[in-house]
Structure 1
Amino acid sequence: MPTSFFTHPQTDFRSAQYTAIISDLHLSEAEPVNKRFPLWKKFKTRQFFFDDVFETFLKHIEEKAQGATVELVLNGDIFDFDSVMALPDEPTFHVNWLERHRGLFPRPERSRFKIEKILKDHEEFMRALRGFIMRGNRAVFVIGNHDLELHFPSVQQEIIRSMQLPDDKKELVRFVEWFYISNQDTLIEHGNQYDPYCMCEDPINPYVRGYNYISLKLPFGNLACRYISNGMGFFNPHVDTNYIMTLSEYVKFFLKYMWKAQPGLILTWFWGSMATLVHAFVDRLAAPIRNPLRIEDRVSIIADKANAEERMVREMKELFVAPAASQPMLLTRELWLDRAFIVFIAFFLIFELMTFVRSVYELSFYWAFIPLFLLLPFFLFYSKSVTSLVSSYKEPDDRILAMASAITKVKRIVYGHTHHTRHEIIGSVEHLNSGCWSPAFLDVECTKPIDQKTFVWISPSDTPTRQAELMRFLDGKSEVINPMARG
């Protein structure tokens, strides 16, 4: 069974004066410009890369630290493996039909190819990170839901190799499974473990075994991105309102942008939704690879890298929510398959009724429209009554915050994942969310950016404990945003 690449972390990771936390960069391959349909995945084109901004940001936080070592925590979804559609020219493995149309499966050799493609298209980003490390700073990668494939040691090794670090500097880069404790005062998690649609069922044992291969069990959200979003390139997956709409909004969107580019959109959506549903349940039934003789070793390794105690790893795992894949009807509603099945059944029953009536009376099939129109108000009422729980998830609730604080013995918790900035006091816990850097736009034309470029900055204060600020990086400078409020 694969193990993590770093098993002997340096003790200096346990202390930090200055910590910068960013999340949800969603680095992926560069999408070639579609000359016929230029809006197709426009948000993924090189035009919206921010690698140069990231380099300026790193230099800025070094200046803020006034020469002291900076701990950079890349808090999940730094890489977006799910949106990579590139295929190797001469693959050493079999690429099936589904992979050719929706991206490679999460297996070691395939995931390594994907990270190679991402890193090649983001050479400036990696050069900036290399320079940051070479100047004596540290970087911690927290694994999120869209970069679950960082669990593979070969993927971690490829990231280290691409930075071309000398041996003594490689120890300044660390990968942690799902949480990290900075300076014994701040718990840092991506936060997907409390989202039923995006949680990794078992980050201690994330691998499942297939026939002659090892794979990762992906959450429902990842599968939806692969099988649905990858085939519907006018929807930006980084903004919920771009793909979670009402029926009338979908119709207007289709007529405005997609009827020429994707006249068969309904079929694309249907088979993508069915593939998502089937894959989610197949993965749900797959048992993780567990070696009873290595469980305690795994827990010990994870604890060491997270600057935690072994009991914290076990107790933090108990806070995970149940995966959405355990509720079949919930997933069918999220995928709109329930509405598709209702329409199919209605057409089938009306067809059977008309066939029976026509065997007795000579009637035109146009009479079938009468029951259809009668049923339409009930269908619309049902559609409006169904709300998506995907968009309703915001942050872990008060109970999880309080329990995580008690388990890890900290009073500050930082999340990512939701793409929404937060800074508040809930009970006795200071709660922050670092927002996102992803190419998020409110429109298909990519003229209305949600250009956050936000981060959490933790620095020494006049008191014995460090202080945390939620900041935005803009034009080479940073400013405090969203002042803390009592909750």
Structure 2
Amino acid sequence: MEPSTPTTASTSSSTATSSTSTPVRVIDGKALFEDLPRTEPVAIDLLDRILADHEGYVAALARLLRAGHRVIFVSGNHDPQLGFPGVRIRLRERLANAAGHVRFGDSVLFRTWFWQGPDGIHVEHGNQYDTYCSFRYPMAPFLPPERGHDREIHATVGSMAFRLLGARLGFLNPHVDASFLMDLDGYLRHWFKHYMFTDHSLALTWLKGAFTIATRVALGRDKGSPDRADQDAQAASHETGADVDDIAQHRELFAAPAEESFHRVLREFWVDRMTLGALSAVAVLTPAFFRNRTAVGIAIGLPLLFAAYELATPKITLDDNYRLIATRAETIQKIYRLKAVVFGHTHVPYGRWNDGVFFGNSGTWSAAYRDLECSEPVDPRGKPVIWLRAENGRLSGGLHRWNGHALVPDFEKVAPVDHQRFSESMPPAVGEPDAVPA
């Protein structure tokens, strides 16, 4: 529910307005999206539009409700607006109406941070262990109380990056991390292939976006407080039934929001290297204007300083980040003494059993392709589904693939990093499903 959907268009000579107005400017054929506030009224409007555009999804959930199942929404960094009471009321009403009776609304549940079932299954998105996507207080991911009148979601660095950079560059797939998290060689190849021979300015878009993000992070840091941390743990205990002391241990696993390390933000968006690179370029030219030892020293010293800085401050890789997130699942299992821990967030599906405990990632059903023409899916084996069954106190199941007709067990069990494979075998399944009701 990233609020960047336009509904009102205006040109330099005229303005067109729809029945509900969210602005987008169209100038010379180019749409300039406004940075909509992350507030409850905007979120409700976005939810209405999303549900209207996904009637098949609504109908499928309605069938589940009529069959006697529950539908549980677990929020993550993409949809913290699901914590707003008005959003929950609207979604519950819409699904109950689609199912045919108001009573079905009682079977639509929400979890702001994580869900735990009576069979020892723990489900959460996993963004709290990613510094660019974590909230300081997941149960109340809002701007500090002293800022603003309405409650507004405190934007993560990841959210700002997609709004101000990813959504404006044109040739990056937000569903495929490898398309936008590259090394210098990768960025140069990308620029040469998609931008060098066009009028589209990658440099200006990056320059404006990166420095806007850096400015917002510098000015918008939330210092937090112990009282708010305690309130967050109490709220999670009240919503999930988990022990508040266990939740306090769970919170210690969080990755600090990226705003805690301003240098890391500068490095992630190449602001530091671009600044040092520009200074080094100026330094190299200095002897052409000032012929003295100082100028020569600057011409040699600054580039060397730049090189030393680059070697001394390596950037964490995407694979390292994914491995770190996966290890958090093992610690969470020990804290709550669970039988299964399931994450999302990384978009890399996997499933493995370890001493009778299941660890998995549900992957993504988003439009993830390896090419811009969207002809080569990242994973052609089918849509990933984590299916776990509890019988006589024992869990079975694991990672499956929906091929359009049936759920097929995925015995390859992709690891947290997509180029590795697990070799562990699954325990014998009990009542393994072979299909999902249409």
If the length of structure 1 is used for normalisation, what is the TM-score? 0.70
Give the aligned partner of residue 219 of structure 1. Answer: 156
Is residue 23–residue 34 contact of structure 2 (8 Å, CA) maintained in 1?
no
Distance of aligned partners of 1:355 and 1:116 in 2 relative to their CA distance in 1, 3 Å threshold: farther
Offset of residue 136 of structure 1:
1.9
Structure 2 partner of 1:401: 329
Q: Which moves more between the two structures, 447-456 or 376-385? A: 376-385
Task: Verify the 8 A CA contact 2:210 2:271 in the aligned structure 1.
Answer: yes
Change (3 A) 1:250 1:401: closer
Give the CA RMSD over aligned residues: 3.6
How far off its partner does 1:206 sit?
1.9
Who is 1:169 aligned against?
Answer: 104
2:184 to 223, 228, 247: 247
| In the alignment, structure 1 residue 413 sits paired with structure 2 residue 334 | no
Q: Structure 1 pair 470/399, CA: closer, same or farther in 2 (3 Å)?
A: closer
1:456 counterpart = 2:370: no
**SS of structure 1 residue aligned to 2:401:** strand
- Does the 8 Å contact 1:219/1:280 carry over to 2? no
Equivalent residue number for residue 466 of structure 1: 395
In structure 2, what is the equivalent of residue 356 of structure 1?
Answer: 290
Map Cα deviations across residues 200-225 of structure 1 (whole Å, 9 max, x no partner). 11013322243333211122211111
The answer to whether the 8 Å contact 2:39/2:150 transfers is yes
Aligned to 2:255: 321
8 Å Cα contact 1:423/1:432 also seen in 2: yes
Confirm whether residue 271 of structure 1 aligns to residue 181 of structure 2.
Answer: no
Which deviates the most, 174-183 or 125-134?
Answer: 125-134
Tell me what 1:438 maps to: 366
CA distance in 2, matches of 1:149, 1:261: 38
Cα distance between partner residues in 2 of 1:377 and 1:248: 21
Deviation at 1:382, TM superposition (A): 4.1
Equivalent position SS for 1:171: helix
DSSP 3-state at the match of 1:285: coil
- C-alpha contact 1:401 1:429 (8 A) present in aligned 2: no
Shift in alpha-carbon separation, 1:91–1:322, aligned structure 2, 3 A: farther
Contact 1:234 1:257 in 2 (8 A): yes
Letter in 2 for 1:454: P
Cα distance in 2, alignment partners of residues 266 and 306 from structure 1: 47
Report deviation, 1:424. 2.3
Cα-to-partner distance string for 1:445-481 (whole Å, 9 max, x where unaligned) = 11111244111111145x5312132100003111111
Deviation sequence 1:172-229 (CA, Å, 0-9, x none): 1111011111233111111111111211110133222433332111222111111110
Letter in 2 for 1:450: V
CA, structure 1 residues 291+384, in 2 after alignment: closer, same or farther (shift >3 Å)?
Answer: closer
The counterpart of 2:37, out of the listed 79, 83, 105, is: 105
Partner of 1:424: 352
Separation (CA, whole Å) in 2 of partners of 1:216 and 1:100: 22
Secondary structure of the corresponding residue to residue 321 of structure 2: coil
Structure 2 vs 1, CA of residues 275 and 137 (structure 1 numbering), >3 Å: closer, same or farther?
same
SS class of match (2:221): helix
Aligned residue among 123, 129, 133 for 1:198: 133
Shift of 1:125: 1.5
Query: Is 1:86–2:86 an aligned residue pair?
Result: no
CA contact (8 A) 2:253 2:328 kept: yes
1:466 alignment partner, SS class: strand
Q: Tell me how far apart the structure 2 counterparts of residues 284 and 381 of structure 1 sit (CA, whole Å).
A: 26
Q: C-alpha displacement at 1:250, in angstroms?
A: 2.2
Q: Aligned equivalents of 2:48 and 2:323: distance in 1? A: 32
Change (3 A) 1:384 1:123: farther
- Residues 357 and 87 (structure 1), Cα distance of their counterparts in 2 relative to 1, 3 Å cut: farther
> Post-superposition shift, 1:335?
0.7
Q: Is the 8 A contact 1:108 1:154 kept in 2?
A: yes
Deviation of 1:350 after TM superposition, in Å, equals: 4.2
Code of the residue aligned with 2:389 in structure 1: it is S
1: CA distance between counterparts of 2:236 and 2:124?
14
**Per-residue CA shift, 1:126-173, capped at 9, x if unaligned?**
222223223321111111111122222222223223324333111111
Q: Which residue type is aligned with residue 56 of structure 2? A: E
Alpha-carbon spacing, 1:143–1:114, altered in 2? closer, same or farther (3 Å):
same
Q: Paired residue for 2:281?
A: 347
Aligned-residue offset at 1:413: 0.9
Give me the TM-score of the superposition, normalised by structure 2: 0.77
Distance 1:85 1:383, change over 3 A: farther
Q: Distance in 1 between matches of 2:160 and 2:273?
A: 20
Name the CA distance, whole Å, in 2 between partners of 1:302 and 1:141.
15
Q: Which runs of 5+ in 2 are unaligned?
A: 9-16, 26-30, 414-421, 426-438
CA displacement 1:106-139 (0-9 Å, x = unmatched): 1222222222222222222122222322332111
Determine which of 329, 337, 340 is the counterpart of 2:271: 337
Residue of structure 2 aligned with 1:134, choices 24, 48, 66: 66
Task: Check whether the contact 1:193–1:199 (CA below 8 A) recurs between aligned residues.
Answer: yes
Inter-partner Cα distance in structure 2 for 1:299 and 1:326: 21
Where does structure 1 lack aligned partners over 5 or more consecutive residues? 1-79, 359-367
Distance in 1 between the 2:344 and 2:385 partners? 10
Q: Contact 2:161–2:213 (CA<8 Å) still a contact in 1?
A: yes
The 1:290–1:228 alpha-carbon spacing in structure 2 relative to 1, beyond 3 Å, is: farther
**Cα–Cα, structure 1 residues 304 and 134, in superposed 2: closer, same or farther, change >3 Å?**
farther
CA offsets per residue over residues 7-57 of structure 1, 9 Å max, x none? Answer: xxxxxxxxxxxxxxxxxxxxxxxxxxxxxxxxxxxxxxxxxxxxxxxxxxx
Deviation at 1:239, TM superposition (A): 1.2
Give 1:395 deviation, angstroms. 4.0
Runs of 4+ in structure 1 over 6 Å off: 90-97, 288-292
Deviation by residue 1:50-86 (Cα, 9 ceiling, x = unmatched): xxxxxxxxxxxxxxxxxxxxxxxxxxxxxx416x332
Q: For residues 339 and 389 of structure 1, do their structure 2 counterparts lie closer, same or farther at Cα, with a shift above 3 Å needed?
A: same
Partner AA of 1:177 in structure 2 = T
CA contact (8 A) 2:23 2:33 kept: no
How far apart in 2 are the matches of 1:202 and 1:107? 17
Asked if the contact 1:199–1:219 (Cα under 8 Å) also holds between the matched residues in 2, the reply is yes
